[in-house]
Amino acid sequence: MTEASVSEAPEGRVVADDLVVSLAYTLRDDEGELIDSAPDEEPLEYIQGYGQIISGLEEELYGMALGDEKDLIIAPENGYGEYDTEATQIAPLDAFPQEMQIEIGLPVEIYGEDDDDPIEGFIADIYDDSVLLDFNHPLAGETLHFHVKVVGLRDASAEELDHGHVHGDGHDH
């Protein structure tokens, strides 16, 4: 983050739709284990109101001012959803290339017969001759514990609003 992004936030400006928010955060699970983080110097940048972050977090950030910090607890239904036991599938080991290193947590993509778009998942368990594929988000069913700090606020450019995402240095379309 540059000093300019902080100085561009006028006195009294708060997180609102169509603003680029620079957010420093730590994310922990119920046991206090660190899941993810973004320090002040390398914040997450997104456009507020565009669904670029989980809904529960986005909703809680409205009205925060530059420099504001708070702790948030986001329930699964406002985060990555409840865990869906139906969103799993057993796949035979011989469906994978022999040279592929099969391990728990390995991301996988499968394609339906009539669909060109992949379904993303991961290997959740390994059996003697098959694997359990899980197509839930890895944080589905988890209560999320955030500590957040707004470290930058600025108007999104017309191009950013049109494209639906933040443009940083070196961004190219």
Instruction: Give a yes or no: residue 94 inside a domain.
Output: yes
- DSSP-assigned states of every residue in the chain: --HHHHHTS-TT-B--TTEEEEEEEEEE-TT--EEEEE-TTS-EEEETTSS-S-HHHHHHHTTPBTT-EEEEEE-GGGTT----TTSEEEEEGGGS-TTS---TT-EEEE--TT-SSPEEEEEEEE-SSEEEEE-S-TTTTPPEEEEEEEEEEEEPPHHHHHHTS---TT---
Residues 70 and 148 in one domain: yes
Report pLDDT digits (tens) over 91-112.
999 989 989 999 999 999 888 7
Could you read off the pLDDT of 131-172 as tens digits, one per residue?
999 999 999 999 999 999 999 999 999 999 888 889 875 455
pTM recorded for the entire structure: 0.79
Are 32 and 71 members of one domain?
Answer: yes
| Domain span holding position 50 | 3-80+140-163
